[in-house]
Structure 1
Amino acid sequence: MKLFESAFSLSTTDFSRLRFGPFNHFCQRRWGKPAVTAQTRLEDRIRDLKLDTLATQIRKLRIIFKLRELMIDRKRGPFVSLQIMSRWRNFVGLRIGIGDFVHKYPHVFDVFPHPLRRNLCCRITGKMAALMKQEENVINDSEIETVQRLKKLLMMSANGTLHIHALRLISKELGLPDGFRESILVKYSDDFRLVDLEIVELVDKHENVAVAEVEQWREREFREKWLSEFDVKFAFPINFPTGYKIKGGFREKLRNWQRLPYAKPYEKRQGFGVRSCGGMHRHEKRAVAVLHELLSLTVEKLVDVERLVHFRRDFAIEVNIRELLLKHPGIFYISTKGNTQIVFLREAYAKGCLVEPNPIYIVRRKMQDLLLLGRRHTKQLESSMEIKEHVSAADNGDCLSKSEGSWVLPILQGFD
């Protein structure tokens, strides 16, 4: 009888524990697959090391451009003290000190002691200043091509209008000059019209529909490779990164997606609704086509992902842009190096270089070469600078002794 009571007591305690077992609806565990989000796609994807390296160089070059603009805004001389530049660290997005960043690139920044105050000062070197001036001249010379790019962007928009603020965010990527609102939009009043001072509208909305870059690629594929029109009519160039694992059934899904019809970026979206059968897939494909054409119109075939969001309403994109870009790794690549995410058009690059370079890209590539030099060839740089100093001092007739760490007197004019 006692054994039975002890067994009964054990069974009741075990029963109390079973209330919280896997069969109880209060604490059931979920054994399904985790949800696939944009963050998981970023973590699980195959990285392109060459594009990541290029993205790092581009971010450093942007920091240099910001520092130069801040130095120009001082309007008190050709150089600024490092003490003042140290206040700009958070504004330009640097994780290290301004002094450390400036000393890393002696071919870009010239650091020297002030001859009177003895504090360190900084200015842009002659090589970098010449390349920046060359870039400005090339941008001014390609004004007609810039107007055509703006007209294509306006033709892609739903209402033929774009916000000037959105264009200003990607002005460097589009090759627009500084102050393009006056130099481009106001100058070409026959093509553009300003609405409420912050919206630009295309004047002639009935002109011929432009041809997208992907459509030109399809025509070349059709003529050169003798592919069927059914397979090429709505296809996109796909270039998967090295090491990309193709799962079972993926090829069939990709083939069906390539054959899926959609409204082209320069055509009005008609014939299907987003909530209709297959309408969402065709809407996503049209969004891919719009982003593909937008990247094709840029100078370096890249844009910051966060800046693309400003075009969602104008281009009638009703899906998450970052998830859409990650969903098509054969067309786009997002680099997460640094504080911002940059999306590249994968087909436009080969081994980290642009397949079809343009004059603006070539000049910016030369600027990146100065960054890649780092502290190499600094002895040649110092010797050439000493020669220039002695020549300029002899021309001016005023020279200070080098042992005292002095420089040419005309440089002192306008010092902050």
Structure 2
Amino acid sequence: MMALLFSATQSFSYNPNPHLLTPYFSIFHSPFSTSFLATKTPKKLKKKRKKKESPRTKLVQTQANRIPHFERIVERDSHFKFLTRSKQFLSKQPEQVLRLDDAGKLYHELGFPRGRKVSRSIERHPLIFETYRHTDGKMWFGFTGFMEELLSEEQAIMDAMEMDRVDKVRKLLMMSANKCIPLSKIHHCRTLFGIPDDFRDRIVKYPNYFRIVVHDDGKRILELVNWDPLLAVSALEKEFMVDEEKAKRAFKFPVKYGKDLDLDIDDTRKLNLLNTLPLVSPYSDGSKLDVWTLEAEKYRVGVIHELLNLTLEKKASIHHIVEFKEEFCLTKHTYHMLLKQPRTFYLAGTEMNWVVFLKDAYDENGVLINKDPQVVFNEKLYEYAQMKEMEEGFHNSSMGNNVI
């Protein structure tokens, strides 16, 4: 027994650190296993979950499905946001000028990036905006003399197109559930339809079409006075009368049915009508439909189709569509509903900030087939906005080409 203890004690090696409680074992002389000294293998690292991309930045279309000319239009609108918003805001200011110190705080109203100097955005469009020092010693900015000429030209277009805009508003009211829409909503989306800024003052000239009702909360509601059956015909229904087969190919609503049905050609054609064109007029009362039925979805698709046809550029953003959600009986699933109809609609931008286009309204190069005079003016304005100085001969040729 003593010999065994002596043999064991001899196997201990010298411990240079007496404070350690665990002795060091000699790897050469110890007869005992030292496997317990092996370090434990680390636990397998958990696979990091791939962070889900935010709808704010995730693109609607994959790279393979993108249509470049529609995406470029979205980029163009973003590029000229300062131009369009500042044009609207300045036009309503006294003398159409604004103090630069005040403008620097109005990044949302003027459409320039928060945290940036507004002067940088002004300098991008020297033919449109200019800065000057007022008699009060402060810097102000406003329109150039050339831009004031353009605004007069635009006013002439608004005057010439007044009846067309009146009919657009009448059709919007006829599509709405209660044949009425708050004036503030129409005013907020006015540029979408080419409606002039002073439309609220112009409508008093048309008492046979419109009536303004003021609610107790002060909200002004525009109501339809008379129903016009000639206006209550959608662009889709007109197309159906001209080319029935083309109109039927515009949409597809998946409805499952057995493949083993023994049907003749006529019966099969009738059955397939369920999967095609929604002939539920957007001018019918959608509020009476059961929200989750196929008929209701056909109605909502038809409403969006007709809404886009009333716009200047046959496109609308999510913000415009949400504005009329209640009036047009739309649901929160509008985005997914439009994605299911790629034959007719194209969605561009991001999942949270998307724009929907009416594909047939554009040619293969992304150019509008039928251009409203206001669209022609806007395109010319964009050209001027990119110039640093007036190109020789461009002014006169552009003015001469504008047709109303």
Match of 2:107 in 1: 89
* Structure 2 CA distance for partners of 1:128 and 1:62, relative to 1, 3 Å: farther
Secondary structure of the equivalent of 2:104?
helix
Match of 1:147 in 2: 166
Asked if 1:355 corresponds to 2:373, the answer is no
What is the one-letter code of the residue matched to 2:281? K
TM-score of the two chains, using structure 2 as the length reference: 0.67
- Aligned partner (choices 180, 191, 215) of residue 209 of structure 2: 191
What is the one-letter code of the residue matched to 1:220? V
TM-score of the two chains, using structure 1 as the length reference: 0.65
Structure 2 CA distance for aligned equivalents of residues 268 and 84 of structure 1: 47
* Structure 2 CA distance for partners of 1:188 and 1:51, relative to 1, 3 Å: same
Match of 1:236 in 2: 250
1:321-344 per-residue CA deviation (whole Å, 9 max, x = no partner) reads: 222223323322333279953322
1:333-358 per-residue CA deviation (whole Å, 9 max, x = no partner) reads: 33327995332222212223211012
Give the conservation status (yes or no) of the 8 Å contact 1:334–1:344. Answer: yes
Give the conservation status (yes or no) of the 8 Å contact 2:60–2:351. Answer: no
Asked if 1:299 corresponds to 2:350, the answer is no
Give the conservation status (yes or no) of the 8 Å contact 1:170–1:303. Answer: no
Structure 2 CA distance for aligned equivalents of residues 42 and 157 of structure 1: 29
What is the one-letter code of the residue matched to 1:355? I
Structure 1 CA distance for aligned equivalents of residues 209 and 119 of structure 2: 47
RMSD (Å), alpha carbons: 4.0
| Larger RCO, structure (CA 8 Å, separation 6 or more) | 1
Structure 1 CA distance for aligned equivalents of residues 99 and 278 of structure 2: 60
What is the one-letter code of the residue matched to 1:163? P
Match of 2:156 in 1: 137
Asked if 1:263 corresponds to 2:280, the answer is yes
Secondary structure of the equivalent of 2:106?
helix
Asked if 1:329 corresponds to 2:342, the answer is yes
Give the conservation status (yes or no) of the 8 Å contact 1:209–1:266. Answer: no
What is the one-letter code of the residue matched to 1:42? V
Give the conservation status (yes or no) of the 8 Å contact 2:210–2:225. Answer: yes
* Structure 2 CA distance for partners of 1:333 and 1:169, relative to 1, 3 Å: farther
Match of 2:123 in 1: 103
Structure 2 CA distance for aligned equivalents of residues 116 and 175 of structure 1: 37
* Structure 2 CA distance for partners of 1:347 and 1:119, relative to 1, 3 Å: same
Structure 1 CA distance for aligned equivalents of residues 351 and 383 of structure 2: 20
1:141-189 per-residue CA deviation (whole Å, 9 max, x = no partner) reads: 21111121111111112222222222122111112122322211x2211
- Aligned partner (choices 158, 161, 176) of residue 195 of structure 2: 176
Structure with greater proportional helix content:
1
Structure 1 CA distance for aligned equivalents of residues 392 and 228 of structure 2: 59
Structure 2 CA distance for aligned equivalents of residues 369 and 200 of structure 1: 36
Match of 2:378 in 1: 364
Secondary structure of the equivalent of 1:87?
coil
State the Cα distance separating 1:62 from its structure 2 match.
4.4
Asked if 1:212 corresponds to 2:234, the answer is yes
Structure 2 CA distance for aligned equivalents of residues 270 and 119 of structure 1: 55
- Aligned partner (choices 77, 82, 99) of residue 58 of structure 1: 77
Instruction: Figure out how many residues of one structure are paired with residues of the other and give that number.
Output: 322
State the Cα distance separating 1:287 from its structure 2 match.
0.8
Structure 2 CA distance for aligned equivalents of residues 73 and 272 of structure 1: 42
What is the one-letter code of the residue matched to 2:328? F
Secondary structure of the equivalent of 2:197?
coil
Secondary structure of the equivalent of 1:201?
strand
* Structure 2 CA distance for partners of 1:72 and 1:297, relative to 1, 3 Å: closer
Q: Which runs of 5+ in 1 are unaligned?
A: 1-16, 18-33, 239-254, 382-416
Structure 2 CA distance for aligned equivalents of residues 327 and 85 of structure 1: 43
Structure 2 CA distance for aligned equivalents of residues 128 and 211 of structure 1: 39
Match of 2:178 in 1: 159
Secondary structure of the equivalent of 2:207?
coil
Instruction: State the structure with more CA Rg.
Output: 2
What is the one-letter code of the residue matched to 1:264? S
What is the one-letter code of the residue matched to 2:348? S
Q: Which runs of 5+ in 2 are unaligned?
A: 1-42, 44-51, 253-271, 394-404
1:103-159 per-residue CA deviation (whole Å, 9 max, x = no partner) reads: 122222234x54978876533233332222222221122111112111111111222
Structure 1 CA distance for aligned equivalents of residues 373 and 192 of structure 2: 13
What is the one-letter code of the residue matched to 1:365? E
Structure 1 CA distance for aligned equivalents of residues 56 and 112 of structure 2: 26
